[in-house]
Copies of this chain bind each other. A is one copy, B any other.
Amino acid sequence: MASLKRAGKVVCIGRNYADHITELNSARPKQPFFFQKPTSSILLPGEGPVIRPRGVDLHYEVELALIMGKQVRGLNAQDEQSAMDAIESYALSIDMTARNIQNEAKKKGLPWDISKGFDTFLPLSSVIGKAAIPDPHNIELYLTINGKVRQSDSTELMLFRIPRILGDISKVMTLEPGDIVLTGTPKGVGRVAPGDVMRAGIRVGGKELEEAKMEVA
């Protein structure tokens, strides 16, 4: 099965769930837009806590991650079969974000890379075999803080579905085997305070996926 340390790049979709766009007072995109997180931000299970940089308003965003198994270039978004075939496996991920730095960058028209890219800002679950997720557009992602549910929504709420996402990215950047694609976060994002414990997971047909379970301090 895929190693999560094999990623050449991590590409993330922004604003892909309508209610999350509303909660951040953002504009609804006409087409998917995306940004990168550095591979150095990956935090694997058991590697320890998310490190909180000084002065940072730290936010969680739970997201389904795709792990690519094939090279993808200029994919036709109508070609659902090729899109699905290009995925090797999945993972659950938390797109940690320095919200104050991101808001400042947005205001000044500056890149998002610092706000998204600190070391440990990409906690990942174990690799989830493809067979465990028969339909990636019909699973439930959840995230709790200290046991309280903060995010819990179905991936059927994605504005742009996976073939469209992979089509748009791969018309700009060739995706390589091992690359990781984050598919956006549902509503409910918010602050992580010092000492908070995040738990996240995936339910498929109401049943918890063991491989997807995450616990990060």
Residues of B within 8 A of A33 (CB): 110-111, 114
Interface-side segment among A58-66, A86-94, A170-178: A170-178
Please report which residues of chain A, range 110-169, place their CB below 8 angstroms from some CB of chain B when the two chains form the complex: 110-114, 117-119
Residues of B within 8 A of A173 (CB): 38, 40-41, 117-119
CB of A63 to closest CB in B, whole Å: 16
Interface-side segment among A76-84, A100-108, A201-209: A100-108
Residues of B within 8 A of A8 (CB): 8, 38-40
Residues of B within 8 A of A172 (CB): 53, 114, 117-119
CB of B109 within 8 A of CB of A111, answer: no
Mark contacts of A6-38 with chain B using CB atoms, 8 A cut-off: 1 yes-contact digit, 0 otherwise: 001101001000000000000100000111101
Instruction: Count A interface residues, CB 8 Å.
Output: 33
Question: Which residue of the partner chain, among B35, B73, B109, contacts A113 with CB atoms under 8 Å?
Answer: B35
CB of A174 within 8 A of CB of B36, answer: no
CB of A38 within 8 A of CB of B9, answer: yes
Q: A117-B172, A173-B117, A174-B119 are in contact. Are A40 and B9 (CB under 8 A)?
A: yes
CA–CA, A11 and B113, complex, Å: 9
CB of A129 to closest CB in B, whole Å: 26
Question: Which residue of the partner chain, among B27, B35, B40, B108, contacts A174 with CB atoms under 8 Å?
Answer: B40
Most buried by B among A107, A112, A118, A176: A112
